[in-house]
Amino acid sequence: MSEPRGPVDSSRVPRFAGPATFARLPRTDEVDHVDVAVVGVPFDSGVSYRPGARFGPAAVREGSRLLRPYHPALDVSPFAQVQVADAGDIACNPFDIGEAVETIQHAAESIDATLVTIGGDHTIALPLLRAAARKHGPVALLHFDAHLDTWDTYFGAEYTHGTPFRRAVEEGLLDTEAVSHVGTRGPLYGKSDLDEDRRLGFGIVTSADVMRRGVDEVVDALRQRIGGRPLYVSVDIDVLDPAHAPGTGTPEAGGLTSRELLEILRGLAGADLVGADVVEVAPAYDHAEITAVAAAHVAYDLISLLAMKEKQ
């Protein structure tokens, strides 16, 4: 097997030029094998407020141009450790959510690599979890989000960006002894939202908990809950405060800083990460690519964690 092919050399091709792949990595058709595939899902038909996340994958790829090959905080060169490549976008029907969910699931299952998926709205987490559970059995879940996303329906629709994790529990995709929300905050429809969420098995670490308890204590608690189970990480970029991520569809005040989010992710080093997504980047509301850059760094940290795992 050949050595991993990394990004375009920025000393030879300026960062504002060259391929528009994630981190200027090769495409999957340009390498002989792939360990970690970055795949886009430009789908936002499940949103309940501001649309635009269908343009998220392209924006995050653009925001990734400045990423460099060595990760000092994790002491890893992910693109040299494993073959990471850009698998392009999963094209799905923007007018039929049910069909889109099926298309995303089948496409995810067809890619012979561990996926880091760029959305798109949070509806896409359900088919991605179906694909992960089919391969690994019920998975632990860390869900970074301002919102619970365990509501039952919106306007009678079962598949939306506010319902994927209720459906995932109902379908047996999650190990409900090891599922947690991180960064939740803001008003709810009623106290029953929390009661229902608890009944589904979720633990909650609010954004205020992160502020008061600190990153290290939060990471310790999350790792205890996860244990050695296969882990899926789903990151809605609105977990960040709008000051750090204005370009999203349902912003809520009082969120995590980008530093807090990245440090929590880095605290997962050594966990059995089997897949991840970063969703809800809506560039029409972004300013100077703040949100896209943050999302690109989140994806880079997730790739780095996967590279460390693959080399263990």
For residues 113 and 275, the answer to whether their CB atoms sit within 8 Å is no
Q: Return the residue matching tokens 């529990």.
A: 169
* Nearest CA-CA partner of 227 in 177, 267, 276: 177
Q: Cα–Cα distance between 196 and 228 in angstroms, integer? A: 27
Q: Cα–Cα distance between 280 and 171 in angstroms, integer? A: 23
The verdict on whether residue 301 carries a ligand-binding annotation is no
The verdict on whether residue 122 carries a ligand-binding annotation is yes
* Nearest CA-CA partner of 47 in 191, 236, 173: 236
The tokens for 305 are 């964690």
For residues 82 and 307, the answer to whether their CB atoms sit within 8 Å is yes
Count of other CB atoms within 10 angstroms of residue 136 = 16
Q: In angstroms, how far is CA 232 from the centroid of its own chain?
A: 9
The verdict on whether residue 71 carries a ligand-binding annotation is no
The verdict on whether residue 143 carries a ligand-binding annotation is no
Rg (CA), the chain: 18
The verdict on whether residue 75 carries a ligand-binding annotation is no
Encoded amino acid at 242, one letter: P
Q: Cα–Cα distance between 23 and 63 in angstroms, integer? A: 8
For residues 7 and 22, the answer to whether their CB atoms sit within 8 Å is no
The verdict on whether residue 145 carries a ligand-binding annotation is yes
* Nearest CA-CA partner of 231 in 187, 280, 195, 182: 182
- Exposure class string for 117-133: b at 16+ Cβ within 10 A, else e: bbbbbbbbbbbbbbbbb
Q: Cα–Cα distance between 133 and 111 in angstroms, integer? A: 15
* Nearest CA-CA partner of 39 in 108, 130, 138: 108
List binding-site positions.
122, 145, 147, 149, 236, 238
Residues annotated in the binding site for Mn(2+), as ranges? 122, 145, 147, 149, 236, 238
